[in-house]
Amino acid sequence: MKHLLNILDLTTEELDDLIKTALDIEANPEKYQDKCAHKTLATLFFEPSTRTRLSFESAMLSLGGTVLGFSSASASSTAKGESCADTIEVVSGYVDIIAMRHPKEGAAQVGIDHSRCPVINAGDGGHYHPTQTLADICTIYKEKGRLNNLTIGVCGDLKYGRTVHSLLACMSRYSGIKFVLISPKELALPEFEKQEFIKNKNIPYEEIQSLEEAIPQLDILYMTRIQKERFLDANEYERLKDSYILTAEKMELAKKDMIVLHPLPRVNEISVKVDKDPRACYFEETRCGKYMRMALIMKLLKEKNEPINIEIKDTFVGDKKCANPHCITGTEQELENLVYKDKEGFIRCAYCDSIVK
């Protein structure tokens, strides 16, 4: 069955088709108002969300479907100790499609393994967030007219930022891309992400700690917040939380046609004074997110029984449990120690992709 775990589950041709559909939905909403009549979406959000959850619900309702679900783990039987696997097994028998968010990395894979219907990963810890990337690329296409020949700066939390990881993976498949990685050393992009999506593809990149130094060369500036909920050490968060703040003064250093994106919510990393700048596209990004989710829901429901076209990990049972403290295997105690060997020869957890030593 077709699901969406990772943005790489979609080919660039499929992404182009989703963007085309999303823009048509925006222009002609009445054409799509009954496309999912008599279909039900479950929004299973084990972690709080505003934009992602509500945009999924709005998307399904705008397609003529219905929605059920919960908005936090405390509002589900998880509070009683029910596993994620059991929750998905049960709920997937009630609905036609599921959008799930979970604070643990690899939870979406568990959901897919136990579901009777298509599952959309709406964010699993610091791992993946493919539908945010759909919103990102739709906005880029609308504003720039292309997805190639761009210099893209990603700024802030590159270590735990699932939106950054998904965006880099997606954009690494287009030609003429350059990445500028802007972060403190403590929040730098994980080495295996850099290796897989940048170095192995010979994509030019820079690692810079100064936003002011980076901004003049950028076509896209992707700001992110420092995510308190991803830190195990509160003192480290306090030390790093104000590392980057985009102001109107810093925007004067940028190109006249550079655009600013942000997955939201923001805390203080973008001054509200920047909102009036025509290059600030983060609220438009939220609207694009709804249209892209509408297009995705229709696609998965239509194609759910067609052959999948993605590379399946060749997994096997390892002799050691994943040591990543954010991995779903830490809380779902009965999960098998599934691992796989990556292209570099490293053994990785099949759920969160961390190296298993």
Q: What is the DSSP string of 23-83?
A: HHHHH-GGGGTTTTTT-EEEEEESS--SHHHHHHHHHHHHTT-EEEEESSGGGSGGGGT--
Please confirm, yes or no, whether 51 is among the known catalytic residues.
yes
Cα 285 to Cα 140: distance, rounded to the nearest angstrom? 9
Task: Write down the catalytic residue from 38, 80, 343, 357.
Answer: 80
* Marked catalytic residue, from 52, 131, 139, 329: 52
**How many other CB atoms sit within 10 Å of the CB of residue 355?**
16
Active site residue 80: yes
Q: Which residue shows structure tokens 């050490």? A: 233
Distance CA 43, CA 101 (A): 8
Q: Which member of 2, 3, 53, 101 is catalytic?
A: 101
Q: Is 146 a catalytic residue?
A: no
Check if 101 is active-site. yes
- Give the residue ranges of DSSP H helices in the chain: 12-27, 51-62, 84-91, 107-113, 130-144, 162-171, 191-194, 211-214, 234-240, 248-251, 282-303
> CB–CB of 299/22 below 8 Å?
no
DSSP assignment of 285-296, as one string?
Answer: HHHHHHHHHHHH
Give the list of residues 6+ apart from residue 184 with CB closer than 8 angstroms, or none.
209, 240, 243
| SS3 at position 90 | helix
Find the catalytic residue in 53, 114, 129, 162: 129
DSSP 312: P
Q: Which of 35, 39, 40, 51 is catalytic?
A: 51
The question of whether 331 is a catalytic residue gets the answer no
List the catalytic residues.
Answer: 51-52, 80, 101, 129
